[in-house]
Amino acid sequence: MDYRVKPPPREQSSMKWLRRPQTIGLQFRAGRLEDLESLYALEVELFGAQIWSREHLSRALSDTGQEFRLALDGAQLVGYLWLDWTTGERGTLEVDGLVVAPAYRRRKIAERLLHWAVERAVQAGWPRLQLKVRADNLPALKLYSKFGFHKVEDLPGVYVGKDGLLLRLEQLPARAPEFARKRSQLEGWQGRG
Ligand SMILES: CC(C)(COP(=O)(O)OP(=O)(O)OC[C@H]1O[C@@H](n2cnc3c(N)ncnc32)[C@H](O)[C@@H]1OP(=O)(O)O)[C@@H](O)C(=O)NCCC(=O)NCCS
């Protein structure tokens, strides 16, 4: 298969059945270079010193091999997912970042962002998503296990001495209808708080 490095076009008419669900009171859109300061501020708020540098984020936002999906409450950035089309082996789309602001957690924002990542892989005909996660990050592990990610490798000490895991979600184009069903269930979800 010819795995492209550049992301596929954002909307494909044949994929209308896989459309993203609407979210009550929140908007989702692509991230751009103009979003740099809000992305950086969210990183600082959540992770203090252990964050991507402003320069690294700026390069990523300008790079056609990276894609950001943002969740916003009005003008306020409340979450994002960062996809990298260039790091993994061919056909492997990597989730480089997934973050939701504390006040907005448990409202299925991460789940919606992750469904978007699945959709992007499916649109491109790429068979798998992969990501790294800290081995003690239980909320994230539960989220990924809900999507069917499985461990492919232990990554001892990769997070400033803390252990990590490499997880993968595979067989994506074939599993697209399953994800479309889950997504439409999410569409009917009214949210908490
Ligand atoms: C992990 C994180 C992104 C989840 O965001 P979120 O928007 O609150 O997650 P959602 O509301 O979409 O939750 C979806 C599923 O994830 C799991 N989950 C999320 N938070 C959880 C928690 N605190 N405890 C247990 N399970 C949790 C559940 O399975 C949940 O499904 P359910 O609501 O049906 O039980 C968020 O906690 C976060 O930003 N954490 C800090 C950054 C981080 O760890 N990112 C991941 C790096 S790999």
CA of 111 to the centre of ligand 1 (A): 8
d(C-alpha 66, C-alpha 172), whole Å:
20
pLDDT confidence of residue 119: 95
Residues in the chain where the model's pLDDT stays below 70: 1-24, 49-50, 88, 188-193
* CATH homologous superfamily, domain 26-187: Gcn5-related N-acetyltransferase (GNAT) (3.40.630.30)
Mutational test site, ligand 1, from 20, 26, 106, 183, max ligand atoms within 8 Å of CB: 106
pLDDT confidence of residue 16: 43
pTM of the predicted model as reported, rounded to 2 decimal places: 0.88
Protein residues whose CB sits closer than 6 Å to any atom of ligand 1: 98-100, 105-111, 131, 133, 137, 139-140, 142-143, 146
pLDDT confidence of residue 160: 85
Q: Whose C-alpha lies nearest to ligand 1, atom 44?
A: 140
d(C-alpha 191, C-alpha 193), whole Å:
7
d(C-alpha 173, C-alpha 56), whole Å:
31
Q: Whose C-alpha lies nearest to ligand 1, atom 8?
A: 105
d(C-alpha 88, C-alpha 168), whole Å:
11
- The atom number, within ligand 1, closest to the CA of 146 reads 29
d(C-alpha 176, C-alpha 181), whole Å:
9
- The atom number, within ligand 1, closest to the CA of 137 reads 44
Q: Whose C-alpha lies nearest to ligand 1, atom 27?
A: 139
CA of 3 to the centre of ligand 1 (A): 30
CB 79 within 8 A of CB 50: no
d(C-alpha 179, C-alpha 118), whole Å:
8
- The atom number, within ligand 1, closest to the CA of 134 reads 48
d(C-alpha 95, C-alpha 97), whole Å:
6
pLDDT confidence of residue 22: 45
Q: Whose C-alpha lies nearest to ligand 1, atom 20?
A: 139
pLDDT confidence of residue 189: 62
SS (H, E, C) the chain: CCCCCCCCCCCCHHHHHHCCCCCCCCEEEECCHHHHHHHHHHHHHHHCCCCCCHHHHHHHHHCCCEEEEEEEECCEEEEEEEEECCCCCCCEEEEEEEEECHHHCCCCHHHHHHHHHHHHHHHHCCCEEEEEEECCCHHHHHHHHHHCCEEEEEEEEEECCEEEEEEEECCHHHHHHHHHHHHHHHHCCCCCC
Which residues have a Cβ under 8 Å from the Cβ of 177 and sit 6 or more positions away? none
Amino acid occupying residue 166: L
